[in-house]
Amino acid sequence: MTRTPDTAPTRATRHGPPPTARPPWRSAGEWWLAAVAAAFTLLQLVLVRPGMGLGWDEAVYVSQVSSHAPAAFFSAPRARGITLLVAPVASWSSSTALLRVYLAVLSGLGLYWALRAWRGLFPVRVIAAGGALFASLWITLFYGPQAMPNYWVAVGASVTVGCFLHARADRTRRGALWGVAAGAALMAWMRPTDAVWVALPLLALVLCVRPRRHLRLLPALVAGLAAGATEWIVEAYVDYGGVGARLAAGSRIQGGLGLHNAVTDQLRSLGGRALCRPCTGAIASAPVIAWWFVLPLLAAAGLVLAVRARRTAATLLPLACAVTAAVPYLFLIGYAAPRFLLPAYALLAIPVADALARLVTAPSARWRTVAVTLVSVGLAGHLAVQFTVLERAVSRTTADHRVWGRTATDLHRLGVRPPCLVTGGNSVPVAFAAGCASAHTGGHDANTTPEELTRTARRMPVVLLTTRLVQPPSYARTWQRHRVTDGYAYLAPAATGKRGQG
């Protein structure tokens, strides 16, 4: 089937010049993309509660620019892109609800930008359907309004690949080269290592397949990656001894990068677990994980149809980038989080939507009726599952965050107020909620020593949190124990004054 791009110019007639074309933002296709992005924003505001407190990782990122609490320890694998993204709100307001609304609106605009990058490569209805498929995943809705980088890597990946295809096909489109650079910079700004994995097929195409034709794309891609990663690289040399040392430190924090089979771990996380580490327990039920097995089948079908239609590149390249984006999180780390695969899902969405569109528009009326029925039932069931899992994930996460908030209130009741320091279990989110600094004497985020904690306790309140009653470490054995919502708090004597043991 031959397609006419939705951006094709209007031909002149014998009776005069062509009619004035409507601006692209006023075209029917543009409104479809805008409607998908607006619906995505609205669903976030309705289904993901704006009052849901900050999680552990969010507290780390937001605390770097917050006036509410001191900055938490910033470990090697992290990048400061999401911190700078939330700075316009987090730097002056401690309202989590305001931050969620800001990020929901921003994520909707990001989705619109990502879909716009594919105009002319696929029909608008396919692009809009792909955007809707991606936006309706519980993972996308859950993380869109959160101060986490993975959704933004997905947006950058989609923009980069879409603009790359445009620039490859039309050498006169300078805007596409700028889009390649901007998308690559966004990815690297958020997670430099993820950006490199996504860009591998693009770099391979530029350098290995007819390099003279594609070499002009190399400066835009490399410049974008370098611009986004500059701060991370500078910080690597300032704080870690170089890029290699920072990557090695990040590998240790992630349990040692190497050959692992995290596929089963990802299946366990699809039931709504934000982090599966260690990843134990049963795999989610068949209806919950079914879409994960259907996705590659539809992607493969889309590729076969694209090859037959002689438009292979527009489908093959995003699929290749999706594969490389997923490889480290499926085979190189020993744990899972569903958000890790968001870039892969974003890149798969439009080719999968194209496959579905071709199935429901088959030439055979009998087959078309069967395909429409199967696709309709399948999508209805898929959406029901996604929204059910989302509701569970939001409820569970909100409950956890409220516990941390109540623990922070308990600390205030015990006289722990800024300036103060919290260490131990769940110390980062509790400290942020309480307006305190956080510190650790062991583990991946170790940034202090028992001796330093003891010295700090002489000049400000210091609290050790434990989730259950255990023998405290030696430096805290003379500290007074109090019962708090999330377990027990051991307060240094200088912090407790005359308070009795709880």
Confidence bin at 502 (pLDDT 50/70/90): very low
Whole-angstrom distance, CA of residue 437 vs CA of residue 72: 7
Per-residue pLDDT tens over the stretch 432-444: 999 999 999 988 8
Whether residue 5 is predicted with pLDDT greater than 50 in this model: the reply is no
Give the pLDDT of residue 363.
79
Whether residue 354 is predicted with pLDDT greater than 70 in this model: the reply is yes
Single-letter residue type at 226: A
Predicted TM-score of the model (pTM): 0.92
Give the pLDDT of residue 451.
95
Query: What are the CB-based long-range contacts (under 8 Å, 24+) for 167-172?
Result: 167/216, 167/217, 167/220, 168/205, 168/213, 168/214, 168/217, 168/313, 171/216
* Beta strands 480-484 and 437-439, pairing class: unpaired
Classify burial at 257, counting beta carbons within 10 Å of its beta carbon; exposed 0-12, middle 13-18, buried 19 or more. middle
For residues 310-330, average pLDDT:
96
For residues 314-333, average pLDDT:
97
Place of tokens 């500078």: 234
The kind and range of the H/E element at 47 are: helix 28-47
Strand partners, 423: 439, 464
307 phi and psi angles, rounded to 5 deg: -60, -45
Whole-angstrom distance, CA of residue 33 vs CA of residue 28: 9
Give the pLDDT of residue 117.
97
Give the pLDDT of residue 2.
42
What is the SS3 assignment for 66? coil
Q: Which two tokens stand for residue 36?
A: 């998908």
- The DSSP code for 148 is -
Find, among 105, 212, 220, the residue nearest to 166 by Cα: 220
For residues 356-375, average pLDDT:
88
Give the pLDDT of residue 27.
64
Q: Which residue has the higher pLDDT, 211 or 176?
A: 176
Per-residue pLDDT tens over the stretch 463-494: 999 999 889 999 999 999 999 999 999 999 86
% of the chain with per-residue pLDDT over 70:
92
16 phi and psi angles, rounded to 5 deg: 150, -175
Whole-angstrom distance, CA of residue 306 vs CA of residue 253: 41
- Residues whose CB falls within 8 Å of the CB of residue 138, separated by 6 or more in sequence, listed in order: 272, 386, 387, 389, 390, 393
Whether residue 450 is predicted with pLDDT greater than 60 in this model: the reply is yes
- Residues whose CB falls within 8 Å of the CB of residue 429, separated by 6 or more in sequence, listed in order: 53, 54, 55, 56, 59, 401, 404
What Å distances lie between residue 230 and 151, 187, 362, CA to CA? 21, 12, 49
Whether residue 379 is predicted with pLDDT greater than 90 in this model: the reply is yes
What Å distances lie between residue 292 and 132, 268, 270, 286, 389, CA to CA? 16, 12, 9, 10, 14
Whether residue 28 is predicted with pLDDT greater than 70 in this model: the reply is no
Q: Give yes or no for a contact between 402 and 53, defined as CB atoms under 8 angstroms apart.
A: yes
Whether residue 188 is predicted with pLDDT greater than 70 in this model: the reply is yes
> How many Cα neighbours within 13 Å face the side chain of 240?
19
Whole-angstrom distance, CA of residue 162 vs CA of residue 491: 55
Q: Which residue has the higher pLDDT, 497 or 401?
A: 401
**Sign of torsion, CA 314 319 322 324?**
negative
Confidence bin at 181 (pLDDT 50/70/90): very high
Single-letter residue type at 352: V
Find, among 353, 363, 284, the residue nearest to 318 by Cα: 353
Q: Which residue has the higher pLDDT, 362 or 147?
A: 147
- Residues whose CB falls within 8 Å of the CB of residue 122, separated by 6 or more in sequence, listed in order: 130, 314, 350, 353, 354
Find, among 221, 141, 145, 214, the residue nearest to 183 by Cα: 221
Give the pLDDT of residue 384.
97
Place of tokens 């892969």: 344
Q: What is the mean pLDDT of the chain?
A: 90
Give the pLDDT of residue 213.
72
Whether residue 293 is predicted with pLDDT greater than 80 in this model: the reply is yes
Per-residue pLDDT tens over the stretch 239-265: 999 999 999 999 988 877 888 899 999
Give the pLDDT of residue 18.
43
Confidence bin at 50 (pLDDT 50/70/90): confident
Place of tokens 């299946």: 267
Give the pLDDT of residue 316.
97
Confidence bin at 495 (pLDDT 50/70/90): low
The kind and range of the H/E element at 488 are: strand 487-491
Q: Which two tokens stand for residue 382?
A: 């898929």
